[in-house]
Amino acid sequence: MKLIFIGPPGSGKGTQAKRLASRFAIPHISTGDMLREAVADGTALGQQAAPIMASGGLVSDDLMIGIINDRLAKSDAGRGFILDGFPRTIVQAEKLDGLVGNGEEPLRVLQLLVPDDAIVRRITLRRTCASCGAIYHLENNPPANDSVCDRCGAEVIARADDTEEAVRKRLESFHRQTMPVAAYYKSKNVLREVDGIGPVDEVFERIEKSLA
């Protein structure tokens, strides 16, 4: 399966993509996670991306396409993959078509629908494990022990871009730059829309049904 998750910030792409990747035993490729790793490692890419991400803007298409090109060339992606956070612009979508669009397995695209007014609360109460990337929510799914990850015991923190101000900017870029990507895939008849409101298990069931 070659699957793309599209959705606004905080719509549950990471939460659902991790589950689906483990169900199908294919890699979950999150460009946000890859960038955050580069920031944590202090690489040249990370230094370039950090201020853009913290302000809620988008990293340049050239950089992102280079990252995805390298990642999809790795052998584990040959079995299929779930892309989370890419493509986010029409330029990225067209480039991805050139990279993988002609294979036997067609690209499938799943759009998670969550209205803007639900997003800010989800994001400002999100906590993420600094080590394994597990995703929590202080109300819906808190770690058992305050700021310690249930899965690996590392510290659970708020992301640098999870401020209300940055979230509003991320939402604005989603509507302006990424909604046209959803329309692009709709016109190719490969897009399925899934309601992202409701308990995580219910949303997962809807996703499984829509992929069946």
> Using CB under 6 A, which residues numbered 81 to 100 contact ligand AP5?
85-86, 88, 92
From the candidates 2, 95, 122, 126, which is the catalytic residue? Answer: 126
Q: Cα 27 to the chain's mean position, in Å?
A: 13
The helix/strand/coil state of 81 is strand
Determine the longest span between alpha carbons in the chain, in angstroms: 47
Cα–Cα distance list, 95 to 31, 61, 65, 92, 203 (Å) = 15, 10, 7, 5, 30
Query: How far is Cα 32 from Cα 75, in angstroms, rounded to an integer?
Result: 21
Least distance in Å: CB of 95 to ligand AP5? 11
Omega before residue 87 within 30° of 0, cis:
yes
Q: Looking at 170, 185, 191, 207, which residue binds ligand AP5 (CB under 6 A)?
A: 170
The helix/strand/coil state of 67 is helix
Q: Which stretches of 7-160 are DSSP H helices?
A: 13-24, 31-41, 44-55, 61-72, 90-100, 116-124
Q: Looking at 6, 10, 181, 207, which residue binds ligand AP5 (CB under 6 A)?
A: 10
Decide: is 59 part of the binding site for ligand AP5 (CB under 6 A): yes
Active site residue 170: yes
Active site residue 88: yes
Locus of tokens 């809620």:
56
Binding mask 12-51 vs ligand AP5 (x if CB under 6 A, - otherwise)? xxxx---------------xx--x----------------
HSE toward the beta carbon, residue 43, CA cutoff 13 A: 9
Least distance in Å: CB of 84 to ligand AP5? 6
Residue closer to ligand AP5, measured from CB, 60 or 186: 60
Q: Name the amino acid, one letter, at 94.
A: E
Active site residue 19: no
Least distance in Å: CB of 201 to ligand AP5? 9
Decide: is 177 part of the binding site for ligand AP5 (CB under 6 A): no
Residue closer to ligand AP5, measured from CB, 54 or 190: 54
Interaction site with ligand AP5 (CB under 6 A):
7, 9-15, 31-32, 35, 52-53, 56-59, 64, 85-86, 88, 92, 122-123, 126, 135-137, 140-141, 161, 170, 198, 200, 203
- Active-site residue set: 13, 88, 126, 159, 170
